[in-house]
Amino acid sequence: MDIDSLRGCLSGEAALPGNPVYDEGRTVWHPPARYREPLAVVRPTGTGDVARTLRWARDEGVRVSPRSGGHSFDGFPVRPGCVLLDLSPMRDAGLEAKGLLRVQPGSRVLALAEALAPAGRALPLGDCGTVAVGGLMAGGGFGYASRQFGLTIDNLVEATVVTGNGEVLRVDADNAPPLYWSCRGGGGSACIVTEFVIRSFVAGQVTAFDIVWDWAAAREALLGFDAVIRSAPRKFDLKLKIRTTGDGRFLDSAAAGPQGCTPGTPFVELSGQYLGPRAEAEALLAPLSDHPAAQKVLIRQENYFDAVRELLPLPGLNDPAPPTLRPMRVASDFVEGELRSGDVDVLVGFVDALQHARDLWGGCILLEPADGAVNDVASAATAYPHRKGRLVLQWEMIESSDPHAAGTARLDDLLSNAREALGPLLTGGRYVNYADRMDTAEDWWSANLGKLRSIAAAHDRSRTIVSRLYP
């Protein structure tokens, strides 16, 4: 591999092992991935650098694995035997006429919210501040405004891409429509996007809220959450999280849990936002906020940026990964029906096992809406196919730092048994941005997989770009 020939034509950097740039590029959020050894790390400054890297890789017969620079839960982009293309230096973002946001893939969610706030505009963005827009768009892009405005990909107007064949193209509904289709949830399988143009919306005042419930009433919290979401208008968005706490049961080994928790007791939290005034939000929240099990209720009316910032989840997800971070496995399912008492028992039992089983290390379940405007789009209209789900169910499982620990396989059984017990409540689809080792490409793209593979074959004949399309 002749890295010097690439260095000679780049504006950015290309580094081999032993170079600080190499180590910085592979130091990702997922701890085990930090020890994987790519062939080299390339940090481009723009579209030209990306195109030159892909052409060079094609000629050299090596593969390129792109990362936008946010947190991949499984550290997938860092691959041995491949060149890691670190797009994190490409983070320009600017709001243009008609509310169009022009943004590079390395720009982070919190920076985008900050750029939109002065104009009183919003986007459905992921709720983790350091997620980069390139990775967010590759999978779909849920956020607190998705019920009203759809996924982030549903608001993509056009994109500048570099195909695996090394071509630079501007794609939209009229120019190279198959590639445009693949850019909306296709996992970066056929091309690498170097610039997005995304439609934003007038936001105005936002009411954000956070409610903590007593763990003893966790079943009631789940049923109440589901009832509120089923009847709430699209401007209302709400997430439910139940996570373990205590020494050895929390994601960050330097803490025992979120602020205000009782270590050793799962922490039940409902958080969200309403695109409207506080009084209307309070009326919608009343079944949850006025319940005797509600231990803490915070409701505040503020601008969009402040709401996004204050709704960020655990600090370990948003800061540069602390050395005390423990490995976390994340899986997903789409919930189609109404939660019943038996379903709630399964979810609470899953967290209870993570909290108390001696051979496990803790974790979380998270439920967020996947309906509203998300369901208005046909399943075949974008590469993202999951347009019939009501909720996204996220399973978070802390793993041992020892990959050979017995409990690692035990998690497979715990998750499989929970899914089997939930049965027809689940659609069978899974979200590629929460990719898990038990998932397949069919789970992520279902009926759209064949089309996605055909597009990738046409625009990346040598399979230069590493993706999740193939085992």
Over the stretch 208-266, which tens digit does the pLDDT of each residue have?
Answer: 999 999 999 999 999 999 999 999 999 999 999 999 999 989 988 889 998 889 999 99
Domain 93-202+446-459 falls in which CATH fold? 3.30.465
> In this predicted structure, what is the pLDDT of residue 304?
74
Q: At what angle do helices 218-231 and 341-356 cross, to 10 degrees?
A: 130
Taking residues 41-45, report their average pLDDT: 97
Asked if 170 contacts 159 with a C-beta cutoff of 8 angstroms, the reply is yes
Tokens of 376: 């208005």
Helix (H, G, I), strand (E, B), or coil: what is residue 195? strand
Query: At 72, is the pLDDT very low, low, confident or very high (cuts 50, 70, 90)?
Result: confident
Distance CA 28, CA 76 (A): 10
Tokens of 425: 């409540």
**What one-letter code names the amino acid at 224?**
G
Over the stretch 120-162, which tens digit does the pLDDT of each residue have?
Answer: 888 888 777 778 999 999 999 998 889 999 999 999 999 999 9
CATH number of 206-440: 3.40.462.20
Asked if 104 contacts 92 with a C-beta cutoff of 8 angstroms, the reply is yes
Q: Where are the domains of the chain?
A: 12-86, 93-202+446-459, 206-440
Q: Shortest CA distance to 83 belongs to which of 14, 21, 28? A: 14
Distance CA 165, CA 465 (A): 9
pTM score, whole prediction: 0.94
CATH number of 12-86: 3.30.43.10
What are the beta bridge partners of residue 231? none
Asked if 241 contacts 189 with a C-beta cutoff of 8 angstroms, the reply is no
Query: Pick the residue with more confidence: 263 or 404?
Result: 263
Backbone angles phi, psi at 260, to 5 degrees: 90, 0
**What one-letter code names the amino acid at 261?**
C
Task: State yes or no: pLDDT of 93 exceeds 80.
Answer: yes
CB atoms within 10 A of CB 38: 24
Q: Which residues contact 33 (CB under 8 A, 6 or more apart)?
A: 26, 72, 74, 75, 76, 78
